[in-house]
Amino acid sequence: MLQDTDNPIYDLIAKEKKRQIEGIELIASENYTSTSVLQAMGSILTNKYSEGYPSKRYYRGNQYIDQIENIAIDRAKELFKVDHVNVQPCSGSSANFAVHLAFLNVGDRTMGMSLDAGGHLTHGSKVSVSGKYFDSVNYGVGDNGFINYDQVRKIALDHRPKLIWTGLSAYSRVIDWKEFRKIADEVGAILIADIAHIAGLIATGHYPSPVPHADVITTTTHKTLRGPRGAMIMCNEQYAESIDKAVFPGTQGGPHNHTIAAIAVALKEASTEEFKKYSQQVILNAKKLADELTKKGYTIVSGGTDNHLMLTDVLKSVNLSGKEASLALECANITVNKNAVPNDSRKPWDPSGVRIGTAAITSRGMKEKEMEKIAQYIDTVLRNSNNEDLIKKIKLEVKNFTKNFLIPGIN
């Protein structure tokens, strides 16, 4: 047993478990998996090496691994209504790099949403390989915090990228996939939809699907999909061979079989009526929390949310940087992440905003009534960030508050 063989690691895991139980998790890219997903992740499947794809492996002894991977693929096809799925990418970043590799040569042009507007590092940020190996151009959002599709079209026409990335990391509104399709067609670009944050909402019909419009779709399998930390690439059949070769042997070796099994479990869970209700509640909670914070004087970028997250300009709201706000909240057992806001004048490591999400707290059974409480906690901490005694008092309240909400797979 781990407790006997490596007590320091066992002890740290126990402490992390306690931290999760006693805290309010508002990081938009985090969630809690089920016991079944955890069991698959911790299984003996991690022992097997399986370079290649089902029925095309470089190692023997993969008859059961093949069946597991095929089940994961079939469930993803059914859930998202797509032609082809690769379930081997180890993460969203590696999946996105594989897509770049499938269609571009070094120096070719790619286009995506800028990081401070709500995009992702792997959509062409200059500090990412996607911006170092490829000639990346970016689009942003208008003064209202919404994507300006006329401006996107102009940038695309001016620069003629081979790939156009859509999707979000901190953009809280519905993306018009159809309009992006028109823009991509105008410049002859391949359209990629990165749905890492919103996959669970799309799978249940609570957020529009890019499937009729995008050529390729990438996603992580945690976040709103509530699975393990892995990724998938989905595409039209015409791009299947290019995508598969870009993943293996292009960017990865042997797949993580235990993760693929856990993805299969999560996909089955995501097809249930219970999960559909969960996804709806995630959005209801996000809207309620955004409304409550707005009432208390906080500036929410774009004025609200259509998905599971919101971006809050805390510098404008309470004269704290994102770093200062996130540190103060952590002292009260409330976890958020610092985040740039559109046209942020501050540096990325200490930006003007924080990103807040409701996927994890919804997994604990919290609903609109609890969002009122959480908004009050946030407001009290941020407006009294130098009052250590008050923050300690809020921390104790948070510990007592969370006792009423079990964590799947932990409590």
Of residues 162, 173, 181, 223, which has the active-site annotation? 223
CA torsion angle for 53, 200, 120, 215 (degrees, to 10)? 60
Residue identified by tokens 């598969």 is 244
Assess contact for 233 and 86: CB atoms under 8 A.
yes
Of residues 10, 22, 30, 51, which has the active-site annotation? 51
The helix, strand and coil proportions of the chain, stated in percent and rounded to the nearest 5, come to 50, 15, 35
Assess contact for 218 and 231: CB atoms under 8 A.
yes
Q: What is the DSSP letter of 301?
A: G
CA torsion angle for 121, 126, 130, 134 (degrees, to 10)? 160
Q: Is 32 a catalytic residue?
A: no
Of residues 220, 251, 380, 402, which has the active-site annotation? 220
- Paired tokens of 263: 């993805």
Of residues 69, 194, 215, 324, which has the active-site annotation? 194
Of residues 229, 288, 355, 364, which has the active-site annotation? 229
Q: Is 368 a catalytic residue?
A: no
Of residues 22, 48, 49, 291, which has the active-site annotation? 49
Q: Is 171 a catalytic residue?
A: no
Interaxial angle between packed helices 368-383 and 322-331, expressed in degrees from 0 to 180 and rounded to the nearest 10: 110
Residues in the chain: 411
Q: Is 239 a catalytic residue?
A: no
Nearest to 209 by CA among 167, 263, 238: 167
Residues annotated catalytic, as ranges: 49, 51, 194, 220, 223, 229
